[in-house]
């Protein structure tokens, strides 16, 4: 039996989790509300908040799981990608604790951990499966062959879809984080009211920079004619923007499923919490005979549960880290 402590600190959530023999026992997350007033994450403030939160949250999950430090077999932490200062807090804490306890560190790739969040609860996908990972920093289509072998089928060439959601929300005058606000407003709007340009890129790759430009120019044009245009059409604008982004995601996902001949389909990452995307995926599953896997809401955004379960698989494969490992803000896949 292996007991793994997981630590996540890649951006603006400080999180810790305990995984015992492949079962995640708890998952505590301290969200940093301080960034809301700046309209986005401020890296220096994020690092300070991680320093403030990491000791209490690790202490709490260990106490909650009734695990003493001497019971730990390994400490998994996010090595990258993410914000350098934020990653430094988590990695330094993990390596220091592991050295003091004479147990291994387990560096984890943040995006691969999002995929493995599907193995926290039942039902679990069978290998191989296709996973669409969608977040504020990444958009990828992955062929998941095993817990430790994943192949990129396609990815964004510029902005991630989460960034497209947030920047579109900003154009509409919505507060940060804007993605969840668009999702909420979209449920009350007409998704076919407005049309926006979709980028056309080869193969299974994505591009989301063009749609942001399309939205910007469209709003400028309409606001010149009616300064209250956004306010009067907010729900329909949100619904139309969300529909366009989701259809872009689904188009390539359907191509990937057909290309690989796989009907085990999963989504992961912060944007997988989007209710519109979840509904659209369910509709397509019924149409295309897919078996779909959608993580619980708490495992969509950045969390230590996914780090802990990743640590479990890596521990089984004896893939340990070194004290000389440094954080990798642009950690290669």
Of 121, 123, 125, the closest CA to residue 144 belongs to 125
Note whether 281 and 143 are same-domain residues: yes
Report the pLDDT value the prediction gives residue 177, as an integer from 0 to 100.
Answer: 81
Residue 211 inside a domain? The answer is yes
Note whether 148 and 289 are same-domain residues: yes
Say if residues 96 and 57 touch (Cβ distance below 8 Å).
no
Note whether 145 and 104 are same-domain residues: no
Note whether 162 and 89 are same-domain residues: no
Q: What angle is formed at CA 19 by the lines to CA 299 and CA 144, rounded to 5 degrees?
A: 55
Residue 109 in 3-state DSSP? strand
Report the pLDDT value the prediction gives residue 62, as an integer from 0 to 100.
Answer: 97
Note whether 145 and 200 are same-domain residues: yes
Report the pLDDT value the prediction gives residue 35, as an integer from 0 to 100.
Answer: 67
Residue 328 inside a domain? The answer is no
Residue 54 inside a domain? The answer is yes
Task: Tell whether the torsion through CA atoms of 258, 264, 267 and 268 is positive or negative.
Answer: negative
Q: What would the two tokens of residue 207 be?
A: 């591009």
* CA atoms within 13 Å, Cβ hemisphere of 132: 32
Say if residues 145 and 127 touch (Cβ distance below 8 Å).
yes
Residue 239 inside a domain? The answer is yes
Strand order from edge to edge, sheet including 291-293: 149-155, 139-146, 129-134, 264-268, 291-293
Residue 45 inside a domain? The answer is yes
Note whether 131 and 215 are same-domain residues: yes
Note whether 200 and 111 are same-domain residues: no
Domain housing 33: 3-116+302-316
The C-alpha atoms of residue 137 and residue 41 are separated, in whole angstroms, by: 12
The CATH number covering residue 222 comes to 3.30.420.40
* pLDDT, tens digit only, all 333 positions of the chain: 799 999 999 988 899 999 999 999 999 998 776 667 666 778 788 889 899 999 999 999 999 999 999 999 999 999 999 999 999 999 999 999 999 999 999 999 999 999 999 999 999 999 999 999 998 788 999 999 999 999 999 999 998 999 999 999 999 999 888 889 999 999 999 999 999 988 888 899 999 988 988 999 999 999 999 999 999 999 999 999 999 999 999 999 999 999 999 999 999 999 999 999 999 999 999 999 999 999 999 999 999 999 999 999 999 999 999 999 999 999 999
Strand order from edge to edge, sheet including 74-80: 23-31, 13-20, 3-8, 74-80, 105-109
Q: What would the two tokens of residue 226 be?
A: 């009616």
Q: Beta strands 291-293 and 264-268: pairing type?
A: parallel
Note whether 55 and 178 are same-domain residues: no
* CA atoms within 13 Å, Cβ hemisphere of 312: 24
The beta strands (E) that lie in the chain are given as: 3-8, 13-20, 23-31, 74-80, 105-109, 129-134, 139-146, 149-155, 264-268, 291-293
Q: What would the two tokens of residue 221 be?
A: 């044009």
Of 4, 264, 1, the closest CA to residue 108 belongs to 4
Q: What is the distance between the terminal CA atoms of the chain, rounded to a whole angstrom?
A: 29
Report the pLDDT value the prediction gives residue 38, as an integer from 0 to 100.
Answer: 66
Report the pLDDT value the prediction gives residue 136, as an integer from 0 to 100.
Answer: 75
Q: What would the two tokens of residue 8 be?
A: 């996540």
Residue 321 inside a domain? The answer is no
Note whether 159 and 217 are same-domain residues: yes
Note whether 92 and 129 are same-domain residues: no
Residue 322 inside a domain? The answer is no
Report the pLDDT value the prediction gives residue 1, as an integer from 0 to 100.
Answer: 78
Distances (CA, A) of 38 to 43, 195, 226, 273, 293: 11, 30, 28, 23, 35
Note whether 112 and 127 are same-domain residues: no
Note whether 36 and 85 are same-domain residues: yes
Tally the domains of the chain.
2
Of 205, 332, 201, 199, the closest CA to residue 256 belongs to 205
Residue 78 inside a domain? The answer is yes
């Amino acid at each position: 039996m292996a007991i793994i402590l997981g630590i996540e600190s890649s951006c603006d959530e400080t999180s810790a989790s305990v995984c015992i023999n492949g079962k995640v026992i708890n998952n505590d997350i301290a969200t940093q509300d301080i960034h809301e007033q700046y309209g986005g994450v401020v890296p220096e403030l994020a690092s300070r908040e991680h320093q403030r939160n990491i000791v209490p949250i690790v202490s709490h999950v260990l106490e909650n799981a009734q695990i003493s430090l001497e019971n730990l077999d390994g400490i998994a932490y996010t090595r990258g990608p993410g914000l350098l200062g934020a990653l430094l807090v988590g990695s330094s804490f993990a390596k220091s604790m592991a050295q003091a306890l004479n147990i291994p560190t387990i560096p984890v790739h943040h995006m691969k951990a999002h995929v493995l969040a599907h193995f926290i609860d039942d039902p679990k996908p069978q290998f191989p499966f296709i996973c669409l990972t969608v977040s504020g920093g990444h958009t990828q289509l992955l062929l998941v062959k095993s817990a430790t072998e994943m192949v990129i089928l396609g990815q964004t060439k510029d902005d991630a879809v989460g960034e497209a959601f947030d920047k579109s929300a900003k154009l509409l005058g919505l507060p940060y984080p804007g993605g969840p606000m668009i999702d909420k407003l979209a449920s009350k709007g007409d998704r076919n009211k407005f049309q926006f340009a979709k980028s056309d890129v080869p193969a299974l790759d994505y591009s989301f920079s063009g749609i942001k430009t399309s939205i910007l120019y469209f709003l400028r044009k309409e606001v010149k004619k009616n300064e209250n245009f956004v306010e009067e059409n907010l729900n329909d604008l949100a619904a139309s923007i969300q529909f366009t982004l989701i259809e872009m995601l689904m188009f390539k996902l359907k191509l990937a499923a057909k290309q690989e001949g796989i009907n085990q389909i999963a989504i992961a990452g912060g944007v997988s919490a989007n209710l519109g995307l979840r509904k659209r995926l369910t509709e397509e599953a019924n149409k295309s005979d897919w078996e779909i896997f959608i993580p619980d809401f708490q495992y969509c955004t950045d969390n230590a549960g996914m780090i802990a379960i990743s640590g479990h698989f890596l521990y089984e494969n004896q893939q340990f880290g070194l004290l000389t490992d440094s954080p990798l803000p642009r950690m290669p896949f």
